[in-house]
């Protein structure tokens, strides 16, 4: 005789645990992304010496200045 239970870990209880776990992961990632967006929404970049920027150059990153970091 098999031990069948609707509340076994492979039944409704397991499904509910999986759903709650997935929803909690989604909630944590959503809150983290909202805080990251709020933190970086007021942070912008300024381009210095825009006439010296070449189309294909590894030095182009030097022309972008983080304004919030530059004021400190």
Distance from C-alpha of 72 to C-alpha of 63, rounded to nearest angstrom: 18
Each domain of the chain, given as residue ranges in start order, spans 1-41, 44-72
For the cut 90, the answer to whether the pLDDT of residue 25 exceeds it is yes
In sequence order, which ranges of the chain are alpha helices (DSSP H)?
12-41, 67-70
What is the distance between the alpha carbons of residues 17 and 38, in angstroms, rounded to a whole number? Answer: 32
The pLDDT value recorded for residue 2 is 65
Is pLDDT larger for residue 15 or for residue 33?
33
Report which secondary-structure segment, H or E, holds 65. Answer: strand 64-66
pLDDT at 17 over 80: yes
Q: Is the pLDDT of residue 39 over 90?
A: no
């Amino acid at each position: 005789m098999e031990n069948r239970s609707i509340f076994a870990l492979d039944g409704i209880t397991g499904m509910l645990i999986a759903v709650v776990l997935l929803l909690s992961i989604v909630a944590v990632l959503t809150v983290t992304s909202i805080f990251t967006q709020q933190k970086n929404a007021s942070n912008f970049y300024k381009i210095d010496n825009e006439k010296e920027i070449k189309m294909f150059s590894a030095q182009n990153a030097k022309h972008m200045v983080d304004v919030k970091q530059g004021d400190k």
